[in-house]
Structure 1
């Protein structure tokens, strides 16, 4: 340290007015270090020193050690009629403890050297920004964080907002912050997020304690083409509420069951979780997850036989619906037409506006003819609803909107054909013809009825408080309703379809007559009636396929598991 001081003495710079000045000359730094106050009650606060010399001051105090006056006769103070005083052997128990003669008080050397300055507004500003972004699930970093950027990212922009609206904050952050304590570097921002993540996961794990729990795992590829594994813990807290907590995303080298099992083992080890407390596991239905021989489910069951595997019921329902739509050529063709219809009509703002205008005209006409059903929530402004990719049951809303807006859709398609002479007009004309056949309308009402039954089940399965026994009961009810529809409701469906067709000038075939495939020759076509075509080949066949898929998808929950749950229930 002596060589360091001598080297400092050789430089020259303006004299400071106080020890915290950023222009302090090295010779005065030497004087500050040589005359450090020993009594902790009289020391200059660490925040008042120049940030560039604080580390040197800390080292000097650490070399001196705490102010421990072992031979000093400590004064006594009468407290509650008892004379009390500081006791010297406390220094033996606490090597950080100090005593101030000037204030007759004890101090902590480490707190003096390293404790944050809580009177400084800047600390609250950093904390506020961090907590706000975490609470809103917003990213910290910006694409361009340079001073010239118009958007430096949420963290820096929020900090700048506080600076612009609070002079006290402005005085201690950003350009006015110490050079070694600005807390804005990209690495610092990542450290803040990682620290908060660790604290959050720590609180979650402390709530889990030694309770039984289940894990839910999913894997997906992120935007950087890296396989990531997400994990959720599910447990029951002290209030007997079912809690699900996301505990992180972990990079995996590949998606084999062995790699996923290693990632889970690593997480359990870092979180101090025990497989002995694991009572359930849930994944999607890929073979690497649920395989009977080498899947992740099996590998965990070998280690903990009580960790029952349960496939997400809502996801299984979606898979059952998708399977029918893909396997059945008639249903597949129908949904292809329905999706094309939504895309063509909704391809531009002009077409959507035209659809709304047509629909409003239909409502006004129906109101004037006194055939409009009125009531709260009815006849609202609407448009064709797009179906979601991951929720097949969302097609239910699409079919309802097509039925309610059918004449408006037909008029808009006719408008597209009349106003345009290009590829879009050809597609619009094709759709205009297809949707005005009885067979399209029959599929429209049939799939609306089937998805109406399964939609009720889907919404029920997605409730947070749903349990597996109730879920199985709901699945059973859904199957019973589909079977009831299959056995008794064909004629009712035909009546609905026929009524709709008569209303919109669509030809209704006679059920006893021979079925004719539109656009095909009768010469080599098999002989069958319209009744056979619509009841046997479409109605019964589609419902039977749906029932078969539901039976296949929902038979994985073992009787043993349901028996255990029934025994445990009060």
Structure 2
């Protein structure tokens, strides 16, 4: 009993608090007080804020409000006179950068709470209060400023540490940091993982970072002399924390170069939101601008964590990002998102919230994305087409379900190509008849469906033979039944009719999609390309039925598929035979599929690419 009691009174070791980069908030009105951070990470928080610098949104449209008899607002010129001054876009208030980071717990009120916890927004007396806040030589503000300078000047604040080290040790330290940083930069450039599951000294593979650093040391003698066993035990520079800090430093420097490249010119933004592996909502931000050489440049700027994907949350995150990097919504001249209501909503979307502040930030929906929505609408809006793509997906999944089936498909296709080459039916040449396989269609990238249909058509006989093998020799009865049904479906006139039609239609839209995604494309050329696609679609509708039907019949004859008499009757799709609703084969294929596909495609393109929407 006593031993249990003694064990329960043993103090538990306190877990180490980890630094979270998402706690660093640019807007001073939204920050957590520095004293609320754990003392173990407080200096790291200060370093992050010092790297970021004071929040001074140059170019921001500062709101005017009634103070006394006049309308007054924050003045941008105050930033030039007071380098410590910060402005909160969210609170419309001023704060002190030095006092936030290094304020002391004693002294006058203006040195402790004003400009840190208590926001200041009396613009009428701003210059007077700012000067009073700075105060004399030993004021709280100046003491905080000196602490800040000492903190930044590590050589002065920890001079007793450096005095105990020789010049040679400092040179070795610099060489070690440089070597580690080069490895970090290479891994970042290639997008490679840093760490592995076993980084112990007995591991045969300690993964990318440590293995590459060791290789670097063996290849370069000067590096080998300062790393691993040749470095002090407490100064190896290989810990995960050091790696993360160097990665963040590289990210900050890269971002700084992008901001300097933008300069004071106008720019546009491209945004999208998605959920990462750890189930956190994130907003990706890309800036698009014209550089000093007149080139249109796109740069990935940041991935911002957001509480949710509502328009207000996205706008708040965007404002914080702009304030952190000194960008202003007043310089924004374009915004591009997807068609979700939270992004392009007419009343409460992110597009509208930005336009309320800056009416010149024109919204443009990505043309390639709109075109994809057109094709999706056609594929899902007509029963016969939707049914067709469902069967295509099942065929690809069954044929590619195992390595054995994929190998059989490749071998059969190879044998058929060789046979046709020997007979002179096809000819060899660069880019012709390359080894290929069925491509899996992707609902979010409809260009892949075009590739899938082309390969299915090219490998038709080989796919049928693989399905026959599954039907005859399959181990699972369910799959044998599915394979039998797929053979019957593929060898039907309707399947070949729709396959040929969708290859023709998707071929036109696929070429247009590739053209719209070119980097040097502009909106005028894009609209011209859309018009050029509408014309052949309309010509196909009005004059192409007879030729198209003959092409399908020729394919059916070549594939040993029976062609129905167009004057015979069949039941209406989606209706039972008991209802007695019958239509001719001609009406079914001409009106319900051929005309319906072209009309819906044309209608969707007119709606999504009208002059109003573009």
Q: TM-score interval w.r.t. the shorter chain?
A: 0.7 to 0.9
Q: Which of 195-204 and 151-160 deviates more?
A: 151-160
Q: Which residue of 2 aligns with 1:515?
A: 570
1:7-46 equivalence runs, <5 A: none
Asked if 1 retains the 8 angstrom alpha-carbon contact of 2:489 and 2:495, the reply is yes
Asked if 2 retains the 8 angstrom alpha-carbon contact of 1:120 and 1:172, the reply is no
CA distance in 1, matches of 2:518, 2:341: 27
Structure 2 counterpart SS, 1:410: helix
Asked if 1 retains the 8 angstrom alpha-carbon contact of 2:569 and 2:585, the reply is yes
Q: Residue deviations 1:185-231, cap 9 Å, x none? A: 21111110111111110011101001110011111111111111110
1:457-472 equivalence runs, <5 A: 457-472=512-527
Distance 1:299 1:533, change over 3 A: same
Distance 1:60 1:522, change over 3 A: closer
- TM normalised by structure 1 equals 0.75
Q: Which residue of 2 aligns with 1:137?
A: 191
Distance 1:331 1:210, change over 3 A: same
Q: Which residue of 2 aligns with 1:279?
A: 333
Distance 1:518 1:232, change over 3 A: closer
Matched, 1:475 2:530: yes
Distance 1:145 1:370, change over 3 A: closer
Asked if 1 retains the 8 angstrom alpha-carbon contact of 2:273 and 2:282, the reply is yes
Distance 1:266 1:415, change over 3 A: same
Q: Which residue of 1 aligns with 2:552?
A: 497
1:312-323 equivalence runs, <5 A: 312-323=366-377
Asked if 1 retains the 8 angstrom alpha-carbon contact of 2:173 and 2:226, the reply is no
Structure 2 counterpart SS, 1:243: strand
Asked if 1 retains the 8 angstrom alpha-carbon contact of 2:177 and 2:237, the reply is no
Q: Which of the pair has the greater relative contact order for Cα pairs under 8 Å at 6+ separation? A: 2
1:174 is aligned, of 228, 235, 238, to: 228
Matched, 1:432 2:487: yes
Q: How many Å apart are 1:60 and its aligned residue?
A: 9.0
Q: Residue deviations 1:275-299, cap 9 Å, x none? A: 1210000111111000000000000
2:319 is aligned, of 258, 265, 278, to: 265
Q: How many Å apart are 1:496 and its aligned residue?
A: 1.3
Q: Which residue of 2 aligns with 1:221?
A: 275
Asked if 2 retains the 8 angstrom alpha-carbon contact of 1:514 and 1:530, the reply is yes
Question: Higher Cα Rg: structure 1 or 2?
Answer: 1
CA distance in 2, matches of 1:218, 1:520: 42
Q: How many Å apart are 1:173 and its aligned residue?
A: 1.1
1:544 is aligned, of 569, 575, 599, to: 599
Q: Which residue of 1 aligns with 2:294?
A: 240
CA distance in 1, matches of 2:308, 2:506: 37
CA distance in 2, matches of 1:415, 1:290: 51
Distance 1:518 1:500, change over 3 A: farther
Asked if 1 retains the 8 angstrom alpha-carbon contact of 2:184 and 2:243, the reply is no
Distance 1:143 1:248, change over 3 A: farther
Q: How many Å apart are 1:520 and its aligned residue?
A: 9.1
Distance 1:517 1:318, change over 3 A: same
Asked if 1 retains the 8 angstrom alpha-carbon contact of 2:339 and 2:365, the reply is yes
CA distance in 2, matches of 1:527, 1:536: 14
Matched, 1:383 2:487: no
Structure 1 counterpart SS, 2:570: coil
Q: Which of 323-332 and 335-344 deviates more?
A: 323-332
Distance 1:275 1:487, change over 3 A: same
Structure 2 counterpart SS, 1:244: strand
Q: How many Å apart are 1:113 and its aligned residue?
A: 8.6
Asked if 2 retains the 8 angstrom alpha-carbon contact of 1:460 and 1:466, the reply is yes
Q: Which residue of 2 aligns with 1:77?
A: none
Q: Count the aligned residue pairs.
A: 457
Structure 1 counterpart SS, 2:582: coil
Q: Which of 335-344 and 179-188 deviates more?
A: 179-188
Asked if 2 retains the 8 angstrom alpha-carbon contact of 1:140 and 1:155, the reply is yes
Distance 1:138 1:557, change over 3 A: farther
Matched, 1:363 2:417: yes
1:302-451 equivalence runs, <5 A: 302-420=356-474, 422-451=477-506
Asked if 1 retains the 8 angstrom alpha-carbon contact of 2:571 and 2:581, the reply is no
Asked if 1 retains the 8 angstrom alpha-carbon contact of 2:575 and 2:581, the reply is no
Q: Which of 140-149 and 333-342 deviates more?
A: 140-149
1:56 is aligned, of 151, 160, 169, to: 160
Structure 2 portions without partners, runs of 5+: 1-157
CA distance in 1, matches of 2:434, 2:558: 22
Structure 2 counterpart SS, 1:232: strand
Q: How many Å apart are 1:167 and its aligned residue?
A: 4.1
CA RMSD of aligned residues (A): 2.6
Asked if 2 retains the 8 angstrom alpha-carbon contact of 1:58 and 1:113, the reply is no
1:112-151 equivalence runs, <5 A: 117=171, 121-151=175-205
Q: How many Å apart are 1:138 and its aligned residue?
A: 2.2
Structure 2 counterpart SS, 1:515: strand
Distance 1:400 1:185, change over 3 A: same
2:237 is aligned, of 172, 178, 183, to: 183
- TM normalised by structure 2 equals 0.70
Q: Which residue of 2 aligns with 1:72?
A: none
CA distance in 2, matches of 1:557, 1:147: 65
Q: Residue deviations 1:421-467, cap 9 Å, x none? A: 52211111110110000000000001111100000110001101111
Q: Residue deviations 1:35-64, cap 9 Å, x none? A: xxxxxxxxxxxxxxxxxxx95364699xxx
